[in-house]
Amino acid sequence: MDIRLLDRNDAPAYQALRLQALRESPDAFSASHEDEATRSIDEVAARIVPAADGSMCMFGIFESGALTGFVALVHPQRKKLRHGAELAGMYVAPALRRRGLGAVLLHAVIAHARSIDGVRQLGLGVNATNEAAKALYRSAGFVRWGVQPRALQIGNVFHDEEHLLLRLDVTG
Ligand SMILES: CC(C)(COP(=O)(O)OP(=O)(O)OC[C@H]1O[C@@H](n2cnc3c(N)ncnc32)[C@H](O)[C@@H]1OP(=O)(O)O)[C@@H](O)C(=O)NCCC(=O)NCCS
């Protein structure tokens, strides 16, 4: 198993896995398959290459050389928001779940957030019914601070989103 930041050469593999994620777990992402299916490889590359200003990077996890999961870290650059970062778009391919890959991705993002000067907290949003992801985040110390009712509409169904936060500047 390898974990590293994705770069432009990973764009085809990322796009294939991302579209699989949007098809297989539509409730887990705010983007839809329809939103992303027509993106060119150049557009995808621009979205995964670490941003020059540090505002975004994407970790990928590989098994036997194949991309099997990913997660993004978003770091707003505006002065009043720079103390926070957001985790987004976490996914592990179904065949490789419950083997610790999600936890490896999560801990890589947390370590990266800790390494950014001034970042004191890491936030994320998760579908309120996503028990697997909530258990994973809880195991890393994230706590729920609120719920946005009807954050997503998928077809005729509304989904609430829980907002979780991990404070990086407190221990224990
Ligand atoms: C959520 C997800 C990333 C977890 O990935 P994973 O590689 O299976 O997670 P791990 O094997 O590292 O699990 C770590 C811990 O998370 C919790 N967990 C993971 N899957 C779980 C499940 N299905 N049910 C209950 N707890 C679960 C457990 O505490 C687990 O530890 P354990 O296996 O020792 O009990 C994966 O299920 C996934 O990609 N789901 C679809 C997309 C998604 O929901 N993304 C999150 C969007 S916010």
141 Cβ neighbours under 8 A, 6+ residues apart? 166
Give domain status of residue 146, yes or no. Answer: yes
Give domain status of residue 73, yes or no. Answer: yes
Q: 154: which 2 tokens?
A: 């998928």
**Residue 171 confidence (pLDDT):** 74
Give domain status of residue 172, yes or no. Answer: no
Q: Which residue has its alpha carbon closest to ligand 1 atom 25?
A: 132
Give domain status of residue 128, yes or no. Answer: yes
**Residue 98 confidence (pLDDT):** 98
If one counts the domains in the chain, the total is 1
**91 touches ligand 1 (CB under 6 Å):** yes
DSSP labels for 78-103?
SGGGTTEEEEEEEEE-GGGTTSSHHH
- Taking the centre of ligand 1 as the mean of its atom positions, its distance from the CA of residue 136, in whole angstroms, is 5
> Can you give the CATH number for the domain in which 150 is found?
3.40.630.30
Write out the chain's pLDDT in tens, 172 residues. Answer: 999 999 999 999 999 999 999 999 999 999 999 999 999 999 999 999 999 999 999 999 999 999 999 999 999 999 999 999 999 999 999 999 999 999 999 999 999 999 999 999 999 999 999 999 999 999 999 999 999 999 999 999 999 999 999 999 987 6
**Residue 149 confidence (pLDDT):** 98
Ligand 1 pocket mutation pick from 19, 98, 131 by most atoms within 8 angstroms of CB: 98
Ligand 1 pocket mutation pick from 3, 23, 97 by most atoms within 8 angstroms of CB: 97
**Residue 153 confidence (pLDDT):** 97
Give domain status of residue 51, yes or no. Answer: yes
Give domain status of residue 6, yes or no. Answer: yes
**Residue 172 confidence (pLDDT):** 62
Q: How do the residues of the chain divide into helix, strand and coil, expressed in percent and rounded to 5?
A: 35, 35, 30
Give domain status of residue 43, yes or no. Answer: yes
Structural domain that includes position 69 = 2-167
**113 touches ligand 1 (CB under 6 Å):** no
